[in-house]
Amino acid sequence: MGHFEVGDRAPDFSATTYDGNKIHLADFLGKRALVLFFYPKDGTPICTQEACAFRDSYEQFLDAGADVIGVSGDSAESHRTFAQQHKLSFPLISDADGSLRKSFAVPKTMGLFPGRVTYVIDQEGIIRQIFSAQFASDEHVRQALIAVGAGRG
């Protein structure tokens, strides 16, 4: 599938976090919503700002019944360092081959850079929010909080 819209079923996926845990979309179905945020690269200023904003709002997501997972093409070791350095409380998935990014149809920015897109997926596996903005890192968190019912305007 080349494009997703709100109301579409999220593509099933299986991935491994930087600490070796397997994650499947099915793990969340019927239990919790999922905020899946794709970002370009560990350690860059905007990506760090975004990851830290998700970290700072993590309890609000949990209280609203949602889990948060970050995805980039960085290695598991890069993710481990990034997560430890910034005390990230949610898992990061290494999508080194780009397959997860491709299955969610995350576009490249200017045809070159991995895009920054956040998906909010409900307990039934339906996409309830898609937010794409390469430079508005905090807005990804704000929009996702609203989508899970934890934030207001």
15 and 99 Cβ atoms separated by less than 8 Å: no
Active site residues: 47
Tell me the angle at which helices 45-56 and 137-147 cross, rounded to the nearest 10 degrees: 30
Burial code of 131-147, b = ≥16 C-beta within 10 A, e = fewer? bbebeebbebbbbbbeb
Query: Nearest 5 degrees, angle CA 143-CA 145-CA 151?
Result: 105
Residue 9 backbone phi and psi in degrees, to 5: -75, 135
Instruction: Give, rounded to a whole angstrom, the gap between the first and last alpha carbons of the chain.
Output: 32
